[in-house]
Chain A
Amino acid sequence: MQSSDRRSRPTTPPNRSRRDLPVTALVDNARAGCPIAFEHLYRRFAGQVASYLRWHRASDPDGLTNDVFAQVHRKLGGFEGDDRSFRSWLFTIAHHRMVDDRRRSSRQPMVQGEVGVDDTTAADWGDVEEDAFALLSHDSVRELLGVLSPDQRDVVLLRVVADLSVEEVARLLGKREGAVKALQHRALASLRRHLENQVALV
């Protein structure tokens, strides 16, 4: 736990932009009552949180992102840790909010559908991926995620969109690391098979 003396003093060095500050320094400043420091935390992470919620088809991703950060602001005094653990803590809150939202809306989170990828073939791997990347729409990716189980989808989005490690995802979801690895492997294998079938049909 931080000492009360440390909490009472903003720690921004005078000649350093807040944009470059480590997250822990921004957290210290925000905890000391500096709203601008909190705003910088918001600017740094809110887009990523909104994206995570959007891929989960939250009912109002932008509003929910605001709710997540309101909760972060309220609970900031109890946070301990470094930059990585702040990200993990933030996405724990975002994930729980998403689960609450999903329960509230009581709707099917995903539907299975066609995926709009091209079957362009080329000798160069980079070109193939570039072509596929260019042809993918967000809607098609969202539909593709519908082939995954909720657990698999949680793991893929936390690993890729939230950029969390296996260990962090395991802690967040209350699972063992081995279980998270198995879920991510099955998820990617399932997505790969689905995409292969889509390409074969074209």
Chain B
Amino acid sequence: MTRAAGPVAAAAVPISDAAPPAFAMGEMSSAELTGTDADRLLAGDLARPRPDLGGLAELAAVLRVLRSTGRDTPPPPMRAPLLRQLGLGEPSPN
């Protein structure tokens, strides 16, 4: 089966010739979170504010709280069943 040449040829524009997304050049002021914003927030590196977008600093802070608990929470004590399973015995009452 042969594909139609038109749409395929039109889609095959080299990336270097394509215009970058408007928001990447700072030309578009959107009041919505973009996929790029989301990716950067999740990576913890949204370094520049977007004044048009309220709640972004607070969202970054929320994600920071979540991330810090994942990294900094101490392990809970091992309980008797797990200690027995590992053959480590139970902790001394003292």
Q: Check B64–A129 contact: CB distance below 8 A.
A: yes
Partner-B contacts on A (CB < 8 A)? 35, 38-39, 42-43, 45-48, 50-52, 54-55, 61-63, 65-66, 69-70, 73-74, 117, 125, 128-129, 132-133, 136, 138, 141, 144, 156-157, 159-163, 181, 184-185, 188-189, 191-200
Q: Check A132–B57 contact: CB distance below 8 A.
A: yes
Partner-A contacts on B (CB < 8 A)? 32-33, 35, 37-38, 41-42, 47-49, 53-67, 69-79, 81-82, 85-88
Q: Check B32–A39 contact: CB distance below 8 A.
A: no
Determine the chain A residues whose CB is within 8 A of the CB of B61 once the complex forms. Answer: 117, 129, 132-133, 136
Partner of A185, one of B38, B57, B75: B38
Give CA–CA (A73, B81) in the complex, Å: 12
Give the nearest-CB partner of B63 in chain A: A160
Determine the chain B residues whose CB is within 8 A of the CB of A128 once the complex forms. Answer: 49, 57
Determine the chain A residues whose CB is within 8 A of the CB of B76 once the complex forms. Answer: 46-47, 50, 61-62, 65-66
Besides A73-B82, A129-B57, A191-B62, 8 new A-B residue pairs in contact (Cβ under 8 A), listed by A number: A50-B75, A55-B69, A65-B76, A133-B65, A160-B70, A188-B42, A196-B55, A196-B58
Q: Check B85–A73 contact: CB distance below 8 A.
A: yes
Determine the chain A residues whose CB is within 8 A of the CB of B59 once the complex forms. Answer: 188, 191-192, 195
Give the nearest-CB partner of A65 in chain B: B76
Q: Check A117–B70 contact: CB distance below 8 A.
A: no
Determine the chain B residues whose CB is within 8 A of the CB of A195 once the complex forms. Answer: 54-55, 58-59, 62
Q: Check A133–B53 contact: CB distance below 8 A.
A: no
Give CA–CA (A187, B85) in the complex, Å: 40
Give CA–CA (A199, B54) in the complex, Å: 8
Least CB distance from A64 to B in Å reads: 9
Give CA–CA (A39, B77) in the complex, Å: 11
Known: A73-B85, A128-B49, A136-B61. A200 touches B69 (CB 8 A): no
Q: Check B78–A66 contact: CB distance below 8 A.
A: yes
Q: Check A162–B35 contact: CB distance below 8 A.
A: no
Determine the chain A residues whose CB is within 8 A of the CB of B32 once the complex forms. Answer: 189
15 contacts between A and B (CB under 8 A): A39-B78, A42-B78, A46-B75, A48-B73, A141-B66, A156-B66, A160-B63, A160-B67, A185-B33, A188-B33, A189-B32, A192-B55, A193-B55, A194-B55, A195-B55
